[in-house]
Amino acid sequence: MNKVLVIYSSKTGFTRKYAKWICEALDADILEYNDRERVNYAHYDTIIFGGGIYAGKINNIKWFREKLSDFKDKKCVLFVSGAMPKKSPDVMKNIKKNFKPGEWGKFKVFYMQGGLDYDHMEEMDRIMLTGFRYALKISKKDERMANMIAKSFDFATQKDIVPLVEYCLK
């Protein structure tokens, strides 16, 4: 039997929401990143790690990168949630920048659009995002994006887990 573990790191809840949907679909165990020492990874055949992306950096990705050698006999999967639309050509480019060339290819990657939640954001994140929005506005480079990130939104949808779930069931 393929035993699956989903471990996630989520600041405002979007990655958590996806992690829960994935867990239900795969009948997997679920673990919050802060509990990562509390589990015996030897019990699992598939490890799925999920994190939100912040200024191009995936939350707690260092842990996943360092674990890749321990998990070399397992199916490794990464899912990333971000505000960018799925179709944006920068999405995979930005995710790839989180890895060294030798690491990329040792796991399968899926991107799922999350959203923004100003009510649950850390103060520093809110300040950073506001700065980014004003920079976009002033430069007039991407007014659509500037308007999109001006307020909270939630584009997370359960159907976005389907490619990951199908891959894990293969």
Q: By the criterion CB under 6 A, which residues form the site for ligand FMN?
A: 10-16, 52-56, 59, 81-84, 114-116, 121, 125, 128-129
Q: How far is the CB of 84 from ligand FMN (least distance, A)?
A: 3
Tokens linked to 138: 């002033």
Q: How far is the CB of 71 from ligand FMN (least distance, A)?
A: 22
Report the residue number, 44 or 50, with the smaller CB distance to ligand FMN. Answer: 50
Tokens linked to 59: 């939350």
Q: How far is the CB of 45 from ligand FMN (least distance, A)?
A: 25
How far is 132 from 140, CA to CA, in rounded Å? 12
Report the residue number, 88 or 103, with the smaller CB distance to ligand FMN. Answer: 88
Report the residue number, 21 or 74, with the smaller CB distance to ligand FMN. Answer: 21
Report the residue number, 8 or 107, with the smaller CB distance to ligand FMN. Answer: 8
159-167 — which CB contacts under 8 Å span 24+ positions? 160/18, 160/86, 160/112, 160/113, 161/18, 161/21, 161/22, 161/25, 161/112, 163/110, 164/22, 164/48, 164/77, 164/79, 164/108, 164/110, 165/22, 165/25, 165/26, 167/77, 167/108, 167/110
Q: How far is the CB of 163 from ligand FMN (least distance, A)?
A: 18
How far is 5 from 66, CA to CA, in rounded Å? 17
Tokens linked to 1: 């039997």
Q: How far is the CB of 122 from ligand FMN (least distance, A)?
A: 8
Report the residue number, 70 or 93, with the smaller CB distance to ligand FMN. Answer: 93
* Nearest to 80, CA basis, from 90, 66, 67: 90
